[in-house]
């Protein structure tokens, strides 16, 4: 091959260089085209479409600061503050010399609680621009967020020095003084702000906010009224006054302010009109709500929200068929609208169709993963379906998106109570109560967690406060009775339970409490009468049947006790307490073979009956025929893979035999889904972990089981074994000795003595 000439080489190099330069310029044109397209959508307030274009621009050039900034603004207008903060930071990093970009990034770091990052960025800005008031305020706010209030106050004082007439700086200084507990100084600072700017609506708004948070509502109302005298259309004052009137049960006074907001020609007008419609719905002025909603439902950004509200009203007033038709029309136009999907899910919940409701809620979450309402709806349905782990995940996501969501904290507190985790429940209930101090439901859950944690004095204080406001609430008298029992005051407990029953004759907790007190007082006739009362009040309630059976059994009427336990199992085949008690009853009467033969006869007529097959398995187990029991439980699970009692009991057999441990754990955890607070299920899981040589995990489960059933000898024995293997010899010894005192079975007792002897040697 001949050597190419210089001219040819230059020609080739020239073509290559030209091509390379062209490629370098091409992405710049493309990203600019995407940016301009995004800007057009942005100007039309089509933020979702604009986001797509800005993201395309960023794909072409990840360091395109201008596109990052516009993308951040889209997220800001859509209310997605975390996403906006992320993009403002990327814009600032891409444009280090742009002071406004740095301030925006620092401001949004502050908003999402990243105080260290906000502080660092503000300090860098002040190095370049020492008299920048915005940066000074951001630095002070970030220090306040980091709880360094003294340093924050110095920075705010510096901001006031930079601009003595700045109302904003003085307000910030006042807020910091308030945080430090200097209420008088804070109030003086807010009032000084009004004196400096007597015609400033913002100064009066700040003073009103201070008065509101410090409980000076009449003064706050006067300050807000002054704002409107200076600026009759001020939306913040109208909103604040409307909220104040609604909060103080002066709903008629709120209407004028809500109408003033709705009549304004602002970007928030549609939202404010929806707020007015919601007000009319809340005061049952449905026709007025429709008059507001109908024009909104025809077009514009609020059309779907308005049509969704109208569908809800239609469902309530005209029934399911019309309501479904209305919401389906909304979904036909917007099949992925989260609010419409949530509403239809609520329809199905109201009708008891939980599985269908769950699918709709899940679709809403898929459509809008940031929707707190959709996630909360999903969590409540999981809870209703007795799937606490999944419910906890959903409520946890709610709190990730909105850490102040007291209702989600309430739900998680109740879930933890049900699962035998009073410490975790206590923390959540406390947080929820701080967020919403006047919420009665939250206070009630707080009361229940205090009782569960044995905090008698504090529980008593909460109960008294709630009873003062709600003297006719039976559930509060139940709580007062439990507190009295914790103090050993049976007379007061009886009085409280009696009051609860007089207020709510179907209060099973109170009737049970009275029956237990009767039995303790050896008043068998009264206890039996209460058992009869329980059955009359709740003839289809499985738990009520078990309660009645306990009373009948304690009074010596074993025939009635047996029948009630059979009824309980028929009503709820997953009621593990009923199976356990029935087995104990047959064992105490030495009727195991007879009982099994009777139930096996029934199986000839109902071969696929889960309850009857389960009882036969239990009877085999009580007879000591573990092989047949295992076969029978396996048969039950072939009939119904979700049979809770069979899953738990088979898991225990597998664990005790030392085989199929992975299957045993899976079965026990399946039972835990349905019975999260069951000591028996926790005992099974713990025993599986013991057999899997995982004593630390075993102790966690077995301690929960022991807390729930402190007088169960086998649970104490299992806990003792687990503690011993985990190296906690002292506590292990205590549990084993307690198990022996509780009449442990011979084989387990021999093993407990062996373990104790080994530790002594």
Tell me what percent of the residues of the chain surpass a pLDDT of 90.
15
Model confidence at 717: pLDDT above 90: yes
Is residue 597 domain-shared with residue 662, that is, in the same domain? yes
232-243 confidence digits (pLDDT tens): 888 888 888 887
Gap between the Cα atoms of 485 and 456, Å rounded: 10
Looking at the domain assignment, is residue 707 inside a domain?
yes
Q: What is the per-residue pLDDT across 506-554, written as a single tens digit (0 to 9) for each?
A: 888 888 889 888 888 888 888 888 888 878 877 888 888 888 888 888 8
The candidate with the shortest Cα–Cα distance to 168, out of 144, 149, 127, 140, is 140
Same domain, yes or no, for 582 and 636? yes
More confident residue, 145 or 715: 715
If asked whether residues 651 and 683 sit together in one domain, one would say no
For residue 600, tell me if it sits in a domain.
Answer: yes
Domain boundary among 673, 705, 733: 673
Choice between 268 and 719, residue whose per-residue pLDDT is larger? 719
Please give the Cα distance from 169 to 139 (Å, whole number): 12
CA-closest candidate to residue 354, choices 391, 374, 382, 376: 382
Question: What is the per-residue pLDDT across 146-156, written as a single tens digit (0 to 9) for each?
Answer: 454 445 444 44
Assess whether 691 and 659 both reside in one domain. Answer: no
* Least confident span in 11-15, 302-306, 556-560, 624-628: 11-15
User: CA–CA distance from 610 to each of 386, 445, 644, 711 (Å)?
Assistant: 19, 36, 10, 29
- Residues 596 and 646 both lie in one domain: yes
Boundary of a domain, candidates 641, 673, 705:
673
Residues 606 and 669 placed together within one structural domain of the fold? yes
Stretch 97-108: mean pLDDT, rounded? 82
pLDDT 10s digits, 264-323: 766 667 778 888 888 888 888 888 888 888 888 876 677 888 888 888 888 888 888 998
In tens, the pLDDT along 110-119 reads 666 677 777 7
pLDDT band per the 50, 70, 90 thresholds, residue 190: low
Domain co-membership, 720 together with 695: yes
Tokens at residue 102, please? 């740095």
176 has pLDDT over 50: no
Q: What percent of the chain has pLDDT over 70?
A: 83
Structure tokens at 151: 């340093």
If you average pLDDT over each of 419-428, 586-595, 622-631, which comes out highest?
Answer: 622-631
Domain final residue pick, 673, 694, 720:
673
**What is the rounded distance in angstroms from the CA atom of residue 380 to the CA atom of residue 390?**
10
End-to-end CA gap in the chain:
94
Q: Provide mean pLDDT across the span 64-73.
A: 89
pLDDT at 292 (0 to 100): 84
- Reading the block at residue 416, the tokens are 């933890």
Q: Is residue 325 part of a domain?
A: no
641 and 717 both lie in a single domain: no
428-463 pLDDT, tens digit each: 888 778 777 777 888 888 888 888 888 889 999 999
Enclosing H/E stretch for 80: none
What is the C-alpha separation between 449 and 426, in angstroms, rounded? 5
Distance CA 464, CA 471 (A): 9
Give pLDDT tens digits for 336-386.
888 899 999 999 998 889 999 999 999 999 988 888 889 999 999 998 887
Q: Taking 60 as the threshold, does the pLDDT of residue 20 lie above it?
A: no
Asked if the structure places residue 591 within a domain, the reply is: yes
| Alpha carbon distance 38, 32 (integer Å) | 10
Q: Rounded to whole angstroms, what are the CA distances from 245 to 170, 220, 249? A: 28, 12, 6
617 and 685 in a single domain? The answer is no
Note whether 647 and 695 are same-domain residues: no
DSSP string, 335-388: TT-HHHHHHHHHHHHHTT-HHHHHHHHHHHHHH-TT-HHHHHHHHHHHHHTT-H
DSSP secondary structure letters along 405-428: -HHHHHHHHHHHHHTT-HHHHHHH
Residues 655 and 715 in one domain: no
Establish if 578 belongs to a structural domain: yes
Q: What does the pLDDT read at residue 303?
A: 83
Judgement on whether residues 666 and 723 belong to the same structural domain of the protein: no
Read out DSSP for 129-147?
A: -TT-HHHHHHHHHHHHHTT
Q: What is the pLDDT of residues 552-587, one digit of tens each?
A: 888 788 888 889 888 888 888 767 677 767 877 877
CA angle 491, 494, 499 (to 5 degrees): 130
What is the model's pLDDT at position 760? Answer: 66
Residue 759 in any domain: the answer is: yes
The CATH number for 626's domain is 1.25.40.10
Domain assignment of residue 349, yes or no: no
Q: Give the residue numbers spanning the domain of 726.
A: 677-761
29 in a domain, yes or no?
Answer: no
How many structural domains does the chain have?
Answer: 2
**pLDDT confidence of 172, banded at 50, 70, 90?**
very low
Least confident range of 18-32, 193-207, 709-723:
18-32
């Amino acid at each position: 091959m001949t050597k190419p000439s210089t001219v040819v080489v230059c020609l080739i190099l020239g073509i290559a260089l030209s091509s390379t330069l062209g490629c370098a310029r091409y992405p710049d044109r493309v990203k600019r085209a995407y940016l301009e397209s995004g800007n057009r959508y942005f100007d039309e307030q089509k933020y979702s479409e604009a986001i797509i274009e800005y993201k395309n621009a960023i794909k072409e050039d990840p360091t395109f600061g201008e596109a990052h900034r516009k993308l951040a603004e889209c997220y800001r207008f859509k209310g997605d503050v975390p996403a906006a903060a992320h993009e403002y930071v990327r814009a600032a990093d891409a444009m280090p010399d742009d002071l406004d970009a740095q301030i925006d990034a620092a401001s949004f770091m502050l908003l999402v609680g990243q105080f260290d990052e906000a502080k660092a960025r503000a300090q860098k800005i002040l190095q370049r621009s020492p008299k920048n008031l915005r940066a000074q305020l951001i630095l002070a706010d970030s220090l306040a967020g980091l709880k360094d209030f003294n340093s924050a106050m110095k920075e705010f004082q510096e901001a006031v020095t930079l601009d003595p007439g700045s109302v904003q700086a003085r307000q910030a200084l006042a807020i910091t003084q308030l945080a430090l507990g200097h209420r008088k100084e804070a109030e003086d600072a807010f009032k000084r702000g009004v004196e400096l700017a007597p015609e400033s609506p913002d100064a009066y708004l700040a003073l009103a906010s201070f008065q509101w948070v410090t409980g000076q509502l009449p003064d706050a109302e006067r300050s807000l009224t002054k704002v409107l005298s200076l600026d009759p259309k001020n939306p913040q004052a109208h909103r604040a006054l409307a909220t104040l009137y609604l909060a103080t049960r002066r709903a008629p006074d709120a209407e004028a302010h809500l109408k003033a907001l709705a009549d304004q020609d602002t970007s928030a007008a549609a939202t404010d009109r929806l707020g007015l419609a919601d007000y009319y719905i809340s005061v049952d002025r449905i026709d007025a709500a429709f008059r507001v909603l109908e024009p909104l439902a025809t077009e514009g950004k609020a059309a779907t929200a308005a049509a969704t509200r109208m569908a809800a009203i239609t469902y309530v007033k005209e029934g399911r068929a019309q309501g479904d038709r209305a919401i389906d029309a909304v979904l036909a136009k917007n099949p992925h609208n989260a609010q419409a999907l949530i509403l239809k899910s609520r329809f199905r919940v109201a009708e008891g169709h939980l599985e269908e409701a769950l699918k709709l809620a899940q679709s809403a979450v898929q459509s809008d993963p940031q929707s707190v309402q959709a996630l909360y709806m999903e969590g409540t349905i999981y809870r209703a379906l007795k799937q606490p782990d999944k419910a906890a995940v959903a409520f946890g996501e709610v709190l990730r998106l909105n850490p102040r969501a007291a209702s989600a904290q309430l739900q998680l507190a109740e879930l933890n109570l049900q699962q035998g985790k009073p410490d975790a429940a206590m923390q959540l209930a406390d947080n929820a109560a701080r967020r919403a101090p006047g919420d009665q439901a939250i206070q009630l859950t707080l009361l229940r967690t205090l009782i569960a944690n044995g905090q008698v004095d504090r529980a008593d204080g909460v109960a008294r406060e709630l009873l003062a406001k709600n003297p006719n609430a039976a559930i509060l008298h139940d709580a007062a009775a439990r507190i009295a029992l914790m103090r050993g005051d049976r007379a007061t407990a009886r009085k409280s339970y009696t009051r609860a029953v007089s207020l709510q004759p179907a209060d099973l907790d109170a009737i049970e409490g009275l029956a237990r007190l009767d039995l303790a007082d050896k008043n068998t006739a009264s206890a039996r009468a209460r058992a009869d009362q329980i059955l009359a009040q709740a003839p289809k309630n499985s738990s009520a049947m078990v309660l009645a059976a306990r009373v009948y059994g304690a009074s010596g009427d074993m025939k009635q006790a047996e029948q009630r336990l059979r009824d309980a199992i028929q009503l709820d085949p997953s009621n593990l307490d009923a199976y356990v008690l029935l087995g104990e009853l047959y064992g105490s009467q030495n009727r195991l073979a007879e009982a099994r033969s009777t139930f096996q006869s029934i199986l000839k007529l109902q071969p696929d009956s889960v309850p009857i097959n389960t009882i036969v398995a239990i009877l085999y187990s009580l007879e000591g025929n573990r092989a047949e029991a295992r076969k029978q439980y396996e048969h039950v699970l072939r009939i119904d893979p979700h049979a809770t009692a069979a899953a738990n009991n088979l898991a225990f057999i597998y664990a005790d035999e030392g085989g199929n441990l992975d299957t045993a754990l899976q079965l026990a955890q399946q039972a835990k889904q349905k019975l999260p607070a069951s000591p028996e299920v926790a005992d099974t899981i713990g025993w599986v972990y013991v057999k899997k040589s995982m004593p630390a995990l075993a102790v966690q489960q077995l301690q929960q089981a022991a807390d729930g059933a402190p007088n169960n000898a086998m649970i104490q024995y299992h806990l003792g074994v687990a503690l011993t293997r985990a190296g906690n010899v002292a506590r292990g010894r205590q549990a084993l000795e307690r198990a022996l005192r509780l009449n442990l079975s011979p084989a387990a007792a021999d093993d407990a003595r062996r373990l104790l002897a080994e530790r002594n040697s």
